[in-house]
Amino acid sequence: MNWHDFTFCGHRLRALPSGALFWPDERLLCVSDLHLGKSDRLARRGGALLPPYETRETLTRLDADLAATGALQVICLGDSFDDDMAAEALAEEETLWLLRMMAGRGWTWIAGNHDPAPMALGGEHRAEIHLGPLTFRHIAEAGAAGEVSGHYHPKASLAGKSRPCFLIDAARIILPAYGTYTGGLRSHDASLTALMAPTALAILTGPRCLVRPMPR
């Protein structure tokens, strides 16, 4: 078993080693910060040149997670594309691949700070969504409870190597960035320590999930 099951607000959830969150009882897969089209956006704006493969790598992992979990609902927690133009710049093959994954599934795009939402791709478009005791939004809000968010791209180190991680306490879950080439913010950054309780856990992604107290 390479994932980590835990209980949050009375519901069993599963952190996957890819950085996706799965809610088995709802057959719901949640991912955050795909940042599709990042290499295109950087090239367009004169930034660093990255190999133009990150969209395919991200879609490959998403396709595999959908197949492995049998998810019938998907929530993308914002910053699904690296900017507004990135959704329009997707190669036809990648657009068709994404539409194939969306077909037959309830698919919700949460607006992020990089992209308001990829309106042309269909699905439901929301600022946030409430399912039972859980609230799914892009950026964590102070004082929230039952919150699932992204935005910060949290990372933690193990044996000197930095890995994307989930941050979890009794009130909130912050997901790692799911996209390739997304960078991240160390869990000991003040932005994250201010949000997470002293008892928070970090679930490091990689070949298998590893659980440790949140580094501060």
**Rg for the chain (alpha carbons), in Å?**
16
Spans of all domains in the chain? 4-213
- pLDDT tens digits for range 76-108: 999 988 666 656 667 889 889 999 999 999 999
Domain 4-213 bears CATH identifier 3.60.21: yes
The amino acid that residue 50 corresponds to is L
Residues 188 and 194: beta-carbon distance below 8 Å: no
% of the chain surpassing 70 pLDDT = 85
Predicted TM-score (pTM) of the model is 0.92
- CA-CA distance, 21 to 3, in Å (whole number)? 10
pLDDT interval class at 35 (50, 70, 90):
confident
Q: Which residue has the higher pLDDT, 46 or 144?
A: 144
